Chains A and B, each alone.
Chain A
Amino acid sequence: MSDDSKLKSGLYKMVSKTLLYGILTSAAILAIGVIAMFAEGKTGYACSLSSVNCLLSYNPMKVPHGDYPNSLQSLYAGLLKVEPFAIIELGIFVLIATPVLRVLTSIFIFAAEKDRMFVAITLFVLAVLLFSFFVVPFIPIFQA
């Protein structure tokens, strides 16, 4: 195997592994939350588990449009009380973070390969992602 294809294999393996660990972690957390929800028969939030209508409802008049964690702070508060919905939402957050971790991993590999062009490209994508998580949602006009 040439040096070039060895490096290429390393990149592919690392990216595949990052994604695999990401989805396994998120699915495990999600499973715990779902089992807790059905076993305890509660969500830990406004809607009780017995009313599907309430669980699927959407309140257009207020943000957030439903009662469940919608930020890191509210997620943390729910997790402290071990509420089933908070555990499920944590699994969702881990899933959303998985592609971001994948971008981060590739930056390190491109850096090891001394591929400056792709380090710059990937850093840019990471910056846009972080901007989309920590800046955009908190600009009032986007919170419709």
Chain B
Amino acid sequence: MTPLLFFFLMFLGSIAAGTIGSIVGIGGGLLITPILTLLFGVNIHLAIGASIVSIIATSSGAAVTYVKDKMTNLRVGMFLEIGTTLGAVTGAAIAAYLNSSLLFLIFGLVLIASLVPTFRRRHQELSTGVENDEWANKLKLNSSYPDAVLQREVPYQVANTPIGLGIMYIAGLLSGLLGIGSGAFKVLGMENAMQLPMKVSTTTSNFMIGVTAAASAGIYVVRGDVNPFIVAPVMFGVLFGAYFGSKMLVRVRNTTIRYIFLFVLMGISIQMILTAFGIIP
């Protein structure tokens, strides 16, 4: 294979990763890691290094649009980043002392279990009767977002903020430990526990994953896991993909996004369980 062919194939794969990732609020490591490890035989550490950078690219690329359009809830995002960044740093710190197979198995099973409440709400466009908890009141987290499909401004309140913060700590931990899965937990935390509308959950997750990934990027760079030859096509592809994805999100229903999210979540859980049993790297 020539370097140019590798560059081109990685670029195409990353466009897909960036598009899907930006719509469902995850980093796209789900696609990039197996393309690199299974298709090109790249070492898992280099694949995780590339995933971390791809997360920052997905996040920043799509957030330009999401933030400008006021889909993202900046206050919720910035508050929850306390949990995710702390989690990411502790995750990177304790990674060496934990058995990662067991972790992959536990989190894979947790993700499958969390599919249930999201699946039950599959027909529900918006939650009703949600009221701000005490923290959400104090932090003024409730807001509204413009819904182009419903053709109105949708106001919403925020429930279970402390539980949400706890889930974000776990999401950050996971990202620091395993390099994947952090966006999925963030969306679940906001959509299941805090009862935010689906679009607000995925765009706010998208907003946060960049900072979470940045919090563990330093350690990967110093270790030499961020290979410029691999990361360059990934970054270009993901930035393009995230741009397309962010333009698509506004035009689809919350229920459609939830379906795509469920599908992607299933993919991530299967990937984690296969990794736990050593079937894939």
Instruction: For chain B, residues 35 to 83, give those with C-beta under 8 angstroms from any C-beta of chain A.
Output: 40-43, 45-46, 53, 56-57, 59-61, 63-65, 67-68, 70, 74-75, 78-79, 81-82
Q: A38-B4, A132-B85 are in contact. Are A89 and B67 (CB under 8 A)?
A: no
B82 x A68 contact (CB < 8 A): no
Which B residues touch A92, using CB under 8 A?
A: 53, 221, 226, 228, 231, 235
- Return the contact of A132 from the options B65, B78, B215 (Cβ within 8 A): B215
A91-123 to B contact mask, C-beta < 8 Å, 1/0: 111011011101100100000000001100110
Would A16 and B68 count as touching, CB distance under 8 A? yes
Residues 6-39 (chain A) with a chain B CB within 8 angstroms: 11-13, 15-16, 19-20, 22-23, 26-27, 30-31, 33-34, 38
The residue that A85 contacts in the complex, of B43, B63, B68, B229, with Cβ under 8 A, is: B229
Cα distance A91–B235 in the bound complex, in angstroms: 10
Does B21 make an interface contact (CB < 8 A)?
A: no
A74 CA to B7 CA, complexed, in Å? 25
Q: Provide the B81-92 mask, 1 if CB < 8 A to any CB of A, else 0.
A: 110011011001
How far, in whole Å, are A34 and B225 apart by their CA atoms in the complex? 19
Contact A98 B3 (CB under 8 A): no
Shortest Cβ distance from A55 into B: residue? B229
Query: Would you call B171 an interface residue if the criterion is a C-beta within 8 Å of the partner chain's C-beta atoms?
Result: no
Q: A65-B225, A95-B56, A118-B75 are in contact. Are A19 and B67 (CB under 8 A)?
A: yes
How many residues belonging to A are interface residues under a CB distance threshold of 8 Å?
66
**Does B127 belong to the interface (CB within 8 Å)?**
no
- Interchain CA distance A142-B216 in the complex, whole Å: 11
Question: If A11-B74, A70-B224, A85-B229 touch, does A98 touch B210 (CB 8 Å cutoff)?
Answer: yes
Complex Cα spacing A136 to B235, Å: 25
Residues of B in contact (CB 8 Å), total 63
**CB of A129 within 8 A of chain B?**
yes
Q: Which residues of A contact B225 (CB under 8 A)?
A: 65
A37-92 residues at the B interface, CB under 8 angstroms: 38, 43, 47, 49-50, 52, 55-58, 60, 63-66, 68, 70-71, 85, 88-89, 91-92
Given contacts A103-B211, A125-B82, contact A96 B217 (CB under 8 A): yes
Quick check: B219 and A52 within 8 Å, CB to CB? no
**Min distance, Cβ A107 to any Cβ of chain B, angstroms:** 10
Chain B positions within 8 Å of A85 at CB level: 228-229
Instruction: From A12, A30, A98, give the contact of B67 (CB < 8 A).
Output: A12
| Complex contacts, A98 vs chain B, CB 8 Å | 56, 60, 210
**Contacting residue for B96 out of A49, A64, A100, A144, CB 8 A:** A144
Instruction: Tell whether, in the assembled complex, residue B42 and residue A96 are in contact, meaning their CB atoms are under 8 Å apart.
Output: no
- The answer to whether A121 and B82 touch (CB under 8 A), given A106-B74, A142-B93, is yes
Q: Are B1 and A106 in contact (CB under 8 A)?
A: no
Which chain B positions have C-beta within 8 A of A26? 235
| Cβ contacts A to B, 22 pairs, < 8 Å | A12-B74, A19-B60, A27-B236, A33-B232, A38-B4, A65-B43, A65-B46, A65-B223, A85-B229, A91-B232, A91-B235, A95-B57, A95-B235, A96-B217, A103-B81, A118-B79, A125-B82, A128-B86, A132-B217, A136-B219, A137-B223, A141-B96
